Amino acid sequence: MYLKEQIYICQIAECGTLSEAARRLYITQPALSNFLSKLELNLGGPLFYRQNGLFIPTYLGERYINTAAQMIKLQEAFNLEKSAIVKNESGRFRIGVQTRRSPEIIPKILHYFHENYPNFTLVFEESNTKQLFTLLESNAVDFIITSISRRMPTWNYIPIKKEGLLVALSKEHRLITSGVIDPEQNVLNLKILAKEFFILPHGEQSLRQDLDRIFRAQNFVPQDILEIRSIATAMSLVSRNMGVGFTRESYVDMKASDDVVYFFVEHANLEHLELVAVSYKSSAASPFFRTIMENVASSLKA
């Protein structure tokens, strides 16, 4: 961006003479005079009138010079910002995070940027996995942090950690109090729960999609269910012994209840479940962008 026209006119107004303005602009006086004549012709009126050898702005000239001066200031500010952006000293990142994870993830990301890139602006979008990928596809975010069960060739993935999937029961559940299930055991066979009341996420939620794959693989069909979108609400119901729920292993660390016992699902084959940072492959081609993603992912592994 170079505002040649605006700079020339402001310089004439400041100097008052074409000769001095031309000297400061490193051009010849005839060239500057020719430039001014053509501009005034295009504008349909004079920008200056001549008085005692000086160029005095007309009213049209005053308005032009006022607007041009603002444009030049904006250009100067933009050039400073551009320089900082090009040098990766400032910028903006738009990051999508699963709503359930945002209380844990967003503070860690903010801390990383405040420590390393304090002049960067961060914009967060919180939603479910399906909507986060929609935002990524429409370039509404730069990258997302989410759980996935399979990788697609379209995207660049940076792994954060493997994701365990847990079944949750109240400590007062009859299968535990009767000794059928040992609260100290690590895994649980779903068939033991065949007659239980299940509290499940809605169908479009990633946790529910993972559960449905497990159910199909084990020929298991929950008979009596309640669909709850909020996992926190589901775990609250479980803690009150109102049903059997499911959650991800990393969610438990966020707000575990002393009234709930968690078990891995037996034969779940969940090696493919993972928490990842995801972006377009074209974005990841930038070394700086990839470094940021990798460092953010590292900050979330703890």
- The pTM is what? 0.66
pLDDT in tens, 114-131: 999 999 999 999 998 889
User: Residue 247 burial by CB count (10 A; 0-12/13-18/19+): exposed, middle or buried?
Assistant: buried
Q: Please give the average per-residue pLDDT across 169-189, as a whole number.
A: 92
* Domain 165-265, CATH number (from 3.40.190.10, 2.70.70.10, 3.30.450.20, 3.30.1360.30): 3.40.190.10
Domain ranges for the chain, please list them. Answer: 4-86, 91-162+273-299, 165-265
**Greater confidence, 253 or 36?**
36
Structure-block tokens of residue 126: 């919180």
Please report, rounded to a whole number, the percentage of residues in the chain having pLDDT higher than 70: 96
Instruction: Please state, in angstroms and rounded to a whole number, the distance separating the CA atoms of residues 107 and 180.
Output: 41
The 8 Å CB, 24+ separation contacts for 181-189 are 181/263, 183/261, 185/263, 186/263, 186/264, 187/263, 187/264, 187/265, 187/266, 188/263, 188/264, 188/265, 188/266, 189/266, 189/267
- Per-residue exposure over 14-28, b if at least 16 CB sit within 10 Å of its own CB, e if not: ebbebeebbeebeee
- Please report the pLDDT score of residue 256 as a whole number: 54
What gap in Å lies between CA 38 and CA 123, rounded to an integer? 47
Architecture label for domain 4-86: Orthogonal Bundle (1.10)
pLDDT at 81 exceeding the cut of 80: no
Dist CA 170 CA 240 (whole Å): 7
Residue 140: pLDDT band (50, 70, 90) is very high
Distance, CA of 117 to CA of 91 (rounded, Å): 9
Superfamily designation of domain 91-162+273-299: Periplasmic binding protein-like II (3.40.190.10)
pLDDT, mean of residues 150-164: 88
pLDDT band at 35 (very low <50, low <70, confident <90, very high): very high
- The arithmetic mean of pLDDT across residues 103-116, rounded, is 93
pLDDT band at 163 (very low <50, low <70, confident <90, very high): confident
Is there a common fold for 91-162+273-299 and 165-265?
yes
DSSP 258: T
Determine the Cα–Cα distance for residues 222 and 285; give it in Å rounded to an integer: 45
Written as six digits, the tokens of 90 are 């400032």
Higher pLDDT, 252 or 3: 3
Alpha-carbon gap, residue 145 to 18, rounded angstroms: 60
Residue 263 has pLDDT above 70, yes or no: yes
C-beta contacts of 74-77 below 8 A and 24+ residues apart: 75/1, 75/2, 75/3
138 with 236: CB under 8 angstroms?
no
Residue of 256 and 47 predicted with greater confidence? 47
Q: What is the pLDDT of residue 262?
A: 92
**Secondary structure class of 241 (helix, strand, coil):** coil
User: In which band, very low, low, confident or very high, does the pLDDT at 84 lie, cut at 50, 70 and 90?
Assistant: confident
pLDDT of residue 257: 66
Average pLDDT value for residue range 45-71: 94
* Number of separate helices (H) and strands (E) present in the chain: 12, 13
Q: How high is the mean pLDDT of the chain?
A: 90
Q: What is the mean pLDDT of residues 34-56?
A: 93
- For the residues 97-103, what does the mean pLDDT come to? 89
